[in-house]
Structure 1
Amino acid sequence: MTEEVEYEALSPNAGLTVNMLAGALAGISEHAVMFPVDVIKTRMQVFATSPGAVYTGIGNAFTRISSTEGMRALWRGVSSVILGAGPAHAVHFGTYEAIKELTGGHGEGNQWVSTSLAGAAATIASDALMNPFDVIKQRMQLHQSEFRSVFTCARVVYRNEGFSAFYVSYPTTLMMSVPFTAVQFTAYEQLKKVMNPTGEYSPVTHMVAGGLAGGVAAGVTTPLDVAKTILQTRGTSHEADIRNCKGMIDAMRIIWVRDGMKGFARGLAPRVLTFMPSNALCWLSYEFFKAVIRE
């Protein structure tokens, strides 16, 4: 009889290649599964002028998009995520594990400083790689988007707006993602230790801890995500203030003037709904693939 592998009992230092490959597979799984909800979130965050692009909630958006544009519209732009998520998540998890090891995060007790530093460093590296793909994805997700190909979208954005269009939201992305990842990774590690102190293989632990950590982090950083969406889709707007938006402060000002405090919560429900199951799946996939690859 084959002895069952004690998953969490395996050495935490799995090696950079294993961590990066597991991270890439986890990232693709995470983003692809929850992509339709991410489409709805993007559309709810944009200040749309067309009545057909204004939605009252997740259910309303799903029904209207699928009935007027077809189910395929809910998956438009997923190819950009697949192209970018694999490399970006490979860098993300590889950096996370390397920094955590370097700062003593695998030691006994509460290592929240180490996990926070590792999560923040991982985000800075992976977002630099993912940001252009995220811009393309959101341009393709918009109502009546002209783009059906990742490469066509990239070419048109570059021709009309220049290379800076792919990184105009990067500072805002970091302002959002660094605290998001620090909160998420710290919460995940602590919840995992509380729920499974023995360190035995426990898929339920990874799913629940990952989902709760992702939901909390997503809710806290939603205002910055709204600003990021405005910056990444500004080239499609017909309104001067949005088209001329230069950075996070301009985006925040636009949100405040147009919608007040409630504007900073645009897309909150689909964002949390996206991140809870996607983070649960991401952590489950990452831990699973890491163990399988090592075995």
Structure 2
Amino acid sequence: MSNDAKPLPFHFQFAAGAVAGISEILVMYPLDVVKTRMQLQVKGPNGEEAYKNMFDCMSKIVKQEGFSRLYRGISAPILMEAPKRATKFAANDEWGKFYRNLFGVEKMNQPLAILTGATAGATESFVVVPFELVKIRLQDKSSKYKGMIDVFQAIVRQEGLLALYNGLEATLWRHISWNAGYFGIIFSVRDMLPKPENNSAKIRNDLISGAIGGTVGTMLNTPFDVVKSRIQNTTRVAGVIPKYNWTIPSVALVYKEEGFGALYKGFFPKVLRLGPGGGILLVVFTACMDFFRTLQK
């Protein structure tokens, strides 16, 4: 991930991304549950909502459903995180090489960092959709599923095998916008920070740039994430057009019915996860890559 670091073979990038992703999810997952709950809730006839804010949501989940509910559905993300994060970082590096060769640019620059991140996000989307779908169905408060396998079987039985890719278009919007912001900002912030003179300074720079990148990416993609959650939580019935179907019309519908603020439901738990989480990702990934480079010497 360093701008001028020696490239490593794909399997090293994959392994580093997998370790980074699993490390991040084990620390930050409860915030993802809270985020999904807040994104799925719609105001009642009198304007009431089950959860007033992030802290109210987390406390009610623990009080009413038990602490373990904050880790409900974690098996799907754990299985997803290795290929997801590995694909994210590996695709970013591989697409970066491709674009540098295509445009005849020796070193990465800001426009290429944004283009590379967006393309990596699109690549990553095809890996994560089935896992995200299962996770959303499990995280819903009204979920009656016994576990990941039960969700998978129910979707295939009731909606068909291709239904596992419901929400692909919304996921593309979400991941392209997040990755473009994340990798683009990382490149820019690293250039602005003092050049690290030791390993602790390098870790500090990675934490700062990763956290800022994660925050900016979250600001860009939260509206797409809100509608993605609603699209994927809808059970498809033959002959019935779901309320939330395509991304841009769904964004417009949420805005029309619930106001602009509804497009940022779950923003705070999401940004708290993906801001610091982005820093954790970058630090662990970079540390793993540096370790693998020592093995190559």
Please, what TM-score do these two structures have when normalized by structure 1? 0.88
Matched residue, 1:174 = 172
Aligned-pair distance for 1:161?
1.8
User: Of 34, 53, 65, which residue of structure 2 is paired with 1:40?
Assistant: 34
Contact 2:115 / 2:180 at 8 angstroms: preserved in 1? yes
Partner in structure 2 of residue 91 of structure 1? 87
Deviation at 1:278, TM superposition (A): 0.9
Residue type matched to 1:56 in 2? K
CA shift in 2, pair 1:70/1:236, >3 Å:
farther
Distance change (3 Å), C-alpha of 1:62 and 1:196:
same
Residues 1:13 and 2:7 aligned together: yes
Distance 2:198 2:92 in 1: 22
Q: Distance in 2 between matches of 1:227 and 1:34?
A: 22
Query: Is residue 111 from structure 1 mapped to residue 105 from structure 2 by the alignment?
Result: no
- Does 2:20 match 1:26? yes
Amino acid in structure 1 at the alignment position of 2:54: I
Amino acid at match of 1:24: A
Classify 1:10/1:200 alpha carbon distance in 2 versus 1 (closer, same or farther; 3 Å): farther
Query: What residue is the counterpart of 2:254 in the other structure?
Result: 255
**Cα distance between partner residues in 1 of 2:158 and 2:262:** 29
- 2:55 aligned to 56, 59, 64, which one? 59
| Alignment equivalent of 1:77, drawn from 67, 73, 80 | 73
Whole-angstrom distance in 1 between the partners of 2:169 and 2:77: 20
AA of the residue aligned to 2:273: T
**Cα distance, 1:182 vs structure 2:** 0.9
- Cα contact 1:53–1:143 (8 A) shared by 2: no
1:133-186 per-residue CA deviation (whole Å, 9 max, x = no partner) reads 011011111113212321111111121122333222111111121122111101
Distance apart, 1:273 and its partner CA: 1.2
Distance in 1 between residues matched to 2:139 and 2:264, nearest whole Å: 20
Q: Is the 8 A contact 1:165 1:232 kept in 2?
A: no
The number of residues matched between the two structures is 285
Once residues 158 and 253 of structure 2 are traced to their aligned partners in structure 1, the CA distance between those partners, rounded to angstroms, is: 23
- d(CA) in 2 for partners of 1:98 and 1:244? 38
Q: Conserved in 2, the CA contact under 8 Å of 1:40 and 1:61?
A: yes
Q: 1:97 to 1:147 in 2, by over 3 A?
A: same
The offset of 1:218, in angstroms, is 0.1
Counterpart CA distance in 2 for 1:159 and 1:249 is 29
Deviation at 1:198, TM superposition (A): 5.1
**What's the counterpart of residue 3 of structure 1?**
none
CA contact (8 A) 2:210 2:275 kept: yes
Q: How far apart in 1 are the matches of 2:227 and 2:10?
A: 34
Quote the residue 1:230 is aligned against.
Answer: 230
Between the aligned partners of 2:110 and 2:198, the Cα distance in structure 1 is 21
Which runs of 5 or more residues in structure 2 are unaligned? none
Quick check: 1:150 aligned with 2:144?
Answer: no
Residue 186 of structure 2 corresponds to residue 192 of structure 1: no
The whole-number CA distance in structure 2 between the counterparts of 1:178 and 1:266 is 20
Check if 1:221 corresponds to 2:217.
no
The code of the aligned residue for 1:54 comes to: A
| Alignment partner of 1:203 is 2:197 | no
Question: Structure 2 length as normaliser, TM-score?
Answer: 0.87
Q: Which moved more, 1:78-87 or 1:265-274?
A: 265-274
What is the CA–CA distance in structure 2 between the aligned matches of 1:152 and 1:142, rounded to whole Å? 15
Structure-2 separation of matches of 1:213 and 1:123: 14
**CA offset at residue 25 of structure 1?**
1.1
Percent identical pairs in the alignment equals 24
| 1:28-60 deviation per Cα after TM superposition (whole angstroms, max 9, x unaligned) | 222232110110110001135789971001111
Deviations 1:58-114 (A, max 9, x none): 111111100110011000111100101101222221111112123239845x61222
CA distance in 2, matches of 1:84, 1:124: 16
Query: 1:279: Cα distance to partner?
Result: 0.5
Q: CA deviation at 1:258?
A: 2.7
- Indicate the larger mover: 165-174 or 194-203: 194-203
